């Protein structure tokens, strides 16, 4: 319930930020156009994400004779989920992700590197984590957040032009403050990105906890996170930044200021929360 409330609050903040920009900008028609465009763009991404992302990483579907398929089938039954499609990604970097628009149209993908790296109980924790994302419909939540954040980016771009030309409506409008518009154009995308990242991090904590419930223990996933984190630093995944939030571990390293924009919480923090008594 805590994470549900937090996610709702963060989505509300994104929406409030969008409305604030619209009020300041004064260009309501432009705001509506930007919002409709963002909805259409992210609806397409949500609907076709499984095909696009799996093709992007050259993932190959495996059949019922593959050990990963058998493990996923067993865990999906324990989680009360329909059987997702199962894929293997041909890369040495250890990672995994889930995709698909809903539990009935879902897929789980794991890299060859993670299959070699982890013991069975650790891999079970990872697959259970991905099934938890499917059960929580996190792909829909991230799509909604991306829609609002993308709209904010577009409107902020409009605000930059408004600041240059003295606001929308030309010289007849005296209520547009170019300085305020310029400040909003700079700060709004930053705030939107941070809120979007906070939503993603919140969902990772929730998926970790649900994974422990599915397999009956948090220790396999905790050990898996340690191994993945250590190995991924040496063998990073050549991933598209737009898909970074989908993986169980951020595919590329980021420290200092860059860590603020990470789609994932620090591994140590995830393990600490995972091992806390319920």
Helix (H) or strand (E) holding 60: strand 60-61
**Residue of 129, 156, 116 whose CA lies nearest to 22:** 156
Task: Return the structure tokens found at 196.
Answer: 């979007």
**Residues whose CB is less than 8 angstroms from the CB of residue 53 and which lie 6 or more positions away in sequence, other chains included:** 97, 99, 243, 246
| Contact predicate 93/125, CB 8 Å | no
Do β-strands 105-111 and 85-89 pair in parallel, antiparallel, or remain unpaired? parallel
Three-state DSSP class for 180?
helix
Q: Are 213 and 53 in contact (CB under 8 A)?
A: no
Active site residue 130: yes
Who's near 276: CB < 8 A, 6+ residues apart?
none
Considering 122, 124, 130, 204, which one is annotated as catalytic?
130
Q: Give the residue numbers annotated as catalytic, written as ranges.
A: 130
């Amino acid at each position: 319930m805590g994470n549900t409330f937090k996610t709702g609050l963060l989505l509300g903040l994104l929406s409030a930020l969008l409305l604030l920009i619209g009020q300041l900008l004064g260009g309501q028609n432009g705001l509506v156009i930007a919002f409709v465009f963002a909805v259409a763009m992210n609806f397409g991404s949500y609907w076709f994400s499984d095909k696009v992302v799996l093709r992007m990483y050259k993932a190959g579907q495996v059949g019922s004779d593959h050990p990963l398929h058998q493990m996923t089938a067993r865990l999906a039954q324990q989680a009360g989920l329909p059987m997702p499609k199962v894929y293997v990604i041909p890369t040495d970097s250890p990672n995994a992700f889930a995709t698909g628009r809903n539990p009935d149209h879902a897929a789980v993908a794991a890299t060859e590197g993670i299959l070699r790296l982890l013991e069975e109980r650790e891999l079970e924790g990872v697959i259970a984590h991905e099934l938890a994302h499917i059960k929580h419909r996190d792909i829909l939540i991230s799509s909604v957040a991306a829609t609002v954040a993308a709209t904010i980016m577009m409107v902020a771009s409009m605000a930059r032009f408004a600041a240059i030309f003295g606001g929308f409506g030309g010289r007849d409008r005296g209520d547009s403050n170019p300085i305020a518009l310029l400040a909003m154009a700079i700060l709004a995308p930053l705030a939107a990105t941070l809120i979007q990242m906070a939503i993603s991090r919140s969902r990772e904590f929730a998926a970790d906890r649900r994974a422990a419930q599915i397999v009956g223990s948090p220790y396999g996933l905790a050990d898996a996170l340690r191994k993945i984190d250590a190995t991924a630093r040496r063998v990073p995944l050549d991933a598209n930044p737009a898909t970074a939030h989908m993986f169980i571990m951020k595919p590329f390293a980021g420290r200092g200021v860059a860590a603020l924009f990470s789609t994932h919480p620090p591994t140590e923090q995830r393990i600490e929360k995972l091992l806390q008594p319920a």
